[in-house]
Amino acid sequence: MILLVGLGNPGKGYTDNRHNFGFMAVDEIIRRHSFSPERVKFQGLVSEGTINGQKILALKPTTYMNESGRSVSEAARFYKIAPSDILVIHDELDLPMGKVRVKTGGGHGGNNGIRSLISHIGEGFRRVRLGVGHPGEKSLVSGHVLKDFSKAEREIADKIIESTARHIDLLIDGNDANFMNKIALETAPPKPKTSDDNKEN
């Protein structure tokens, strides 16, 4: 079983925040792949489904971002899921808006949800890092992630969310590089035409 985790904060006031990028992506995966209706368990909302023949437990912790590790560790202990089979989708300050990177292990990068996960289950889980950009100063970080996407950012975010849900099977199969390539190809803005493009052959 794969434990698929989306990070965010519960409650209507947080729904469209940059910090809820992980929640948004998992919601679309649940919808697109016809998972079971969500139910309350493990201090979160859980839903079950199958992707590429692999059983998936989707989890959105409702502990608030800073205590996400409590919820994830509870689910992992119950199902005896190793950190290597835990896939966490979250917003990432160190990547510009529109960029997506997958990695295993490493530090928390200032994300308190990841910090909490590391303290509860260690560093060995996989992360799907969805870029939201950095506001430039550390003092502005909290306000940045707890604000809604701008209209232009939301258009980019929606493309990322849709593409992530479409190609989640590649991540489930461990094909991280191909997943990142697919996302980049589908979400990259069209290249502006150059003068050479307009020349007659």
Of 19, 33, 90, 144, the catalytic one is 19
Q: How far is CA 196 from the centre of its chain?
A: 39
Pairing between β-strand 54-61 and β-strand 39-41 as defined by DSSP bridges? unpaired
Q: How far is CA 104 from the centre of its chain?
A: 14
The gap between the terminal CA atoms of the chain, to the nearest Å, is 56
User: Hey, what's the torsion of the CAs at 31, 35, 40, 42, to 10 degrees?
Assistant: -110
Concerning whether 134 is annotated as a catalytic residue, the answer is no
Q: What share of the chain is helix, strand, coil (3-state, %, to 5)?
A: 45, 20, 35
Catalytic residues: 19
